[in-house]
Amino acid sequence: MLALHRERFELADGDFLDLDWTDNNGTAVVLVLHGLEGSARSPYVRALTRAVYRRGWRAACLHFRSCSGEPNRCSRLYHSGETGDLDAVVTSIRHRYPGLPLAVVGYSLGGNVLLKWLGEKRGGAPLAAAVAVSVPFRLDLAVARLNTGLSRIYQWWLLRSLRKKITARVRAHPGLVSARGLRRWQTLREFDEEVTAPLYGFSGADDYYRQASSLPYLRCIETPTLILQATDDPFIPPTAIPAPEDLAHAITLEISHTGGHVGFVAGCLPGKARYWLDERIPEYLSRYL
């Protein structure tokens, strides 16, 4: 297994973020953003980290607040539209390694955060390139999809994890949010209405979804960016995938009929599966790193 070492990044508000780094002096730096309730231990992050390391680049996984296994200090956690923490980390890496090209790869929620940040920065993003995978471009449609069919199993798992975190936050910060409905919440929309929206100053879940979705920001992106999406994604409906007129010229959108959510497994022989993302992402980044 590839060894990683952890570094604590102190934020201006007194909180911290944990970054897991590969132990090598690479010719470039690739920062990886995980999905909702993911971490550096998530299989897709571990696989990409190994692929990046094999290319001779240095990889770092940014844990969103509370996702590293260590409870964060402040009341804030993270959400799909929170880009300030990413901006602070990218600025720090850029200052530390001014001579190395830097790329960011985001999966699912991390992909939404990345694309929104790129759109906010326009031409000011200090990146050589970016890649976003299985992105919930419209959060309202993604949350509705999670409440249908077998996707509800994944929603249940996410809610169980989020309930634990909010329970711990309420103990550490009494009065932070109302915990009366904690066990009653059955959907992510209910969670966003009762927790995410009031905690981060949105008027409700719909306001949060509108402001945090990355779709409106795609036209403003000037960094070379690859977006990988599958039409059979069980969590993101095809109707959420942007149309050509939604995209800036810097974006390459590749849509496959199969791939699921952060899957994209190739090959049909048992035990001989190829994880296509671990080939396609470094291949794209190699043009710029």
Q: What is the pLDDT of residues 19-50, one digit of tens each?
A: 999 999 999 999 999 999 999 999 999 999 99
Is residue 108 part of the annotated active site? The answer reads yes
Whether residue 184 is predicted with pLDDT greater than 80 in this model: the reply is: no
Domain ranges of the chain: 4-138+218-285, 148-212
Query: Which value, in Å, is the radius of gyration of the alpha carbons in the chain?
Result: 18
| Rounded Cα–Cα distance for residues 24 and 7 (Å) | 14
Q: What is the pLDDT of residues 5-23, one digit of tens each?
A: 999 999 999 999 999 999 9
The structure tokens listed for 16 are 């911290």
Q: Which class would CATH give 4-138+218-285?
A: alpha beta
Q: What is the pLDDT of residues 119-175, one digit of tens each?
A: 999 999 999 999 999 999 999 999 999 999 989 999 999 999 988 888 887 777 776
* The residue count for the chain: 289
Q: What is the pLDDT of residues 51-97, one digit of tens each?
A: 999 999 999 999 999 999 988 888 888 999 999 999 999 999 999 99
The structure tokens listed for 102 are 């830097």
Residues 233/134, Cβ–Cβ less than 8 Å:
yes
Q: Provide the pairing of β-strand 58-62 with 29-33.
A: parallel
Which entry of 66, 80, 108, 214 is annotated as an active-site residue?
Answer: 108
Which entry of 18, 20, 233, 278 is annotated as an active-site residue?
Answer: 233
Nearest to 208 by CA among 218, 198, 216: 198
Which entry of 151, 213, 261, 278 is annotated as an active-site residue?
Answer: 261
Is residue 249 part of the annotated active site? The answer reads no
The CA distances from residue 37 to 103, 173, 268, in Å, are: 22, 21, 30
Is residue 261 part of the annotated active site? The answer reads yes
